[in-house]
Structure formats: structure tokens, C-alpha cells
Amino acid sequence: MLKVLSVRKTSAEKIVVRNVIELWANQYPEVIRWLTFLQRKKQAAYYFYRFCQWAQKTPPELLALKEKDSSVSPPPNIVEKLLDDFCGQDISGFTNSQKYNSAISVKSFFKHSYRDLARASGVVTLEKVKAYNPLSKEILRRLFNRALNPRDRALIPFATSTGIAKETLSMLTWANLEQNWENKDLPCINIGSEMLKGHGRGKYKGVRQITFLTPEAKRELINYKEWIEQKLGRKLAPQDHIWRQTCKPFEPVTYEAFGNIITVLSNNARVDFSWHDARRWINTNLEQIGISSNWARKIRGRKVRGEEAPYSQPAIDQLREKFREAIPLLEFTTERPQVPKEVQERLAQMEEEQKALKRQYGLMREKRHIKVPKEMEADEPEKCSDDKHCDSEENFKQIAETELLEYLKTGWKITHNLANGQVIIQR
């Protein structure tokens, strides 16, 4: 529970997200009570504070206006109309997104004060004015290579492998990883609804996120775990938060700090990237492997539609096997040569041409086993006195299949096909 503390008397300090509770919210017990229901307390308080400043009303005065509404029939909906004016006007200093967040905070405050506002009030349509950040393995490698410590090196593949949202990242503990995860090829992370969007309330009740670590994400997480245990001077317990600050006292990373971490990494790497981009990365690659929409929603931690009890162990194992198909698309820490599509097609064409050539000269091996009469078996090669074949090494060659035709025309024959695409021929 948040406690109402004495307000620090200062007129010089500007109210921002980090100090809004101390400098403003603590004056109002109604606001403090409301904030106890929320996870992101500072953000909610700040956007509510900005609305109050615009309306030139204190939280108790806003509640009094709603009380006045209830005493009149029909109610004039004074607060709803005030919120509509706020959302509908072009107000200097407020972006569309900021008005949207303020409207949500105002409605939340009234809801938890048992003075619900009409649902139709305070509607703000968000229009995307900035294109999504481009995503590629090269961009992710640049982020990864610019990481200055094992925690940040683990965070990038962890987020792009699991698709876990920023708020959930700040709450994860080692208990969320399946038992004996270090020895699993694709460790499962099982997250309950209380740590996800909606926090298990209303339509979000029963939602779980079932996601997995790629091998490279597991590797970096193990390295980070060993490093932070050395810093702490103890073994980590299941209830310990996974992500911690890199200096003493190694406190868990907060929601706000996660934003700072990715901002610093992006600036150092000179790329645009956010934690939401990590969710887009995994969703895009899951689509490429043709995963079902319900399975993709499980991995992203969203409500599964038309399915009961989808989180049993057999269902998780099925999901793990489907996730395995996406690993080549998701992993990025090691650069692998990409063979262009046209080169792959040409190689396939050359392989078919070679098979046709072998069939023409009767060189294709039969797959079925045929018993050869003893009288038709080839005689054993003549042996020398030292029990070795008398054929000289000059009578054998190892060549590529592409050279085979010229040798066959001059009397050579195949004695052995090698796995590397070459053949042994004999004169």
C-alpha cells in the first residue's frame, strides 16, 4: 500500500513522471488509494496530474462534480463533457498520444472511486505518424555487439526469442523458467495472467504466456546468470527477479529502467529499436512458419479464442516443436551466409542434370535389394604376394561429379560415390 507522505515544499522542482507521486499525488488520499490498484503508478499519476492542470481542478473537485451529476436527473455529465473537450481540442503541449493516456488515467481514477464515467466519453483515436522501425538480423547484431555487459547481451536475444513485453520483463523471476531449464534445448517460460496485460482481471482472466528460449538466448542467459551470481556472491533463488541492475545493490530492473536500457543500447548501436519491436520480430517470424493464430497468441501472451485448457504439458510440447521451426529465422547473434534464392534454384537444377546423366549411363544405384546369383558375382581382384590389390594408384582418381562425363568417355568407370558430391573412378 502506498502511504500519504508529507509533500516536499518546493516550487522550483518541475513535476515529472519520476517525482509526481511525491510532489503531487501524496496530497490527495483519493489518488493514493486509486494508485494501489495499478501496476504503472507513476505513469498513471502523471497523466492524471496533467489533465487536472489543464482542467484547473483538483481530484477532490472532480469527484465533487461527479457527485453533483448524480443529484440531478437527467445528469448533465459535467466531467464527461470536460473530458470530451480535453480530447477534442488542439491543446498546446499535448500530443495525441498524451491526451489518449490522460483520458485512460481519468477514467481509471473515477472507476476505482466508484464514480464510473460514461464509456463514450474521452475517446481519442490514435493515428500512427511514425513508421515501424525496420527489423533485420544485421540490426539486432549491431545492438547485441554494442551491449556493454552480460545482462544486456542476454536481454536482446531473450526479448526477441520470447516476445515478452517490457512490463512483464520487469516482473520475471527464475521460477518462471521450467525446471532444469539449463539442460533443455528449448527452455519453456510459463507466465501467469497476473504478470501480463490486464493482470488477470475481466476478459484477461486465465490468460497465460507460453514461450521459449532459442539456443542462443539460453546460452547468453546462462552466461548472465553466472555473472550476476558472482556479483551477488550467492546462488540465485527461484523467487529472485531475473533482470537486475549491474551495480550495487543489484536491485531488480524497474519498468522505467527497461526503457532507459534500450534507449542507451539503441543510441550506442545507432539503430532505432524498442522492446515492442522485439515482439514484432517474433510475431513476424512465427507467421513465416505458418503457425496457427491460437498458438501464436499463446506465445505472445494474448487471449486464446475458442480453446479450452490449452496449457497442459502435451500442448506445451506440441508448441515447442512448432517453435523449433522458427529458430533459423529468430537467431541472429552469429552471422551465417545466406544463399540467394536464384543460386539455390540453379544448384537444384544442376543436381537434377547430374542425376539424369547418371541414369543415361546406368550409374544410378538401385534402392531395392536384389539378390545376385553367385555365378554372376564379380571375381575378386587379383592379389599380389603382399595381400594388396595390384592396381596402381595411378589407375584411380577422385573427381567432382561435374567432371565425370569426360572421364567416362575415355574408359573410366565409377567405383565409389562419396558423400561430399565427389566420386572415385578407375581406369
Type of residue found at 180: N
- Give yes or no: residues 170 and 279 share one domain: yes
- Return mean pLDDT, the chain: 82
Which has the minimum average pLDDT: 50-64, 93-107, 368-382?
A: 368-382
Cβ 302 vs Cβ 211: under 8 Å: no
319 inside domain: yes
Sheet containing 396-400: order of strands: 396-400, 422-426, 413-417
Q: pLDDT of 138-190, one tens digit each?
A: 999 999 999 989 999 999 999 999 999 888 999 999 999 999 999 999 999 99
Q: Which residues of 185-216 are buried (b: 16+ CB within 10 A; e: fewer)?
A: ebbbbebebebbbebeeeebeebbbbbbbbeb
pLDDT at 370: 47
Name the band, by pLDDT with cuts 50, 70 and 90, for residue 383. very low
- Give yes or no: residues 167 and 105 share one domain: no
Q: pLDDT of 393-403, one tens digit each?
A: 567 787 877 67
The number of domains in the chain is 3
Residues 49 and 43: their CA atoms lie apart, in Å, by: 10
Task: State the greatest distance between any 2 C-alpha atoms of the chain, in Å, as a whole number.
Answer: 120
| Residue that is last in its domain, among 287, 309, 330 | 330
317: left (phi over 0), alpha (psi -120 to 50) or beta: alpha
- Give yes or no: residues 229 and 285 share one domain: yes
Between 291 and 25, where is the model more confident? 25
Q: pLDDT of 326-336, one tens digit each?
A: 999 999 887 65
For the chain, how far is it from start to end, CA to CA, in angstroms? 90
Domain residues for the domain of 413 are: 341-365+389-426
- Give yes or no: residues 360 and 234 share one domain: no
419 inside domain: yes
Between 268 and 379, where is the model more confident? 268
pTM of the model: 0.59
- Residue 216's domain is classified under what CATH number? 1.10.443.10
DSSP code for 9: -
Name the band, by pLDDT with cuts 50, 70 and 90, for residue 10. very low
- Give yes or no: residues 319 and 193 share one domain: yes
The stretch 212-219 carries a mean pLDDT of: 94
Joined together, the cell numbers standing for residue 188 give: 519453456
pLDDT at 297: 80
Type of residue found at 368: R
The stretch 97-126 carries a mean pLDDT of: 89
Joined together, the cell numbers standing for residue 176 give: 518462471
Alpha helices in 271-371 (DSSP H): 275-288, 293-300, 313-324, 327-330, 341-360
pLDDT at 386: 47
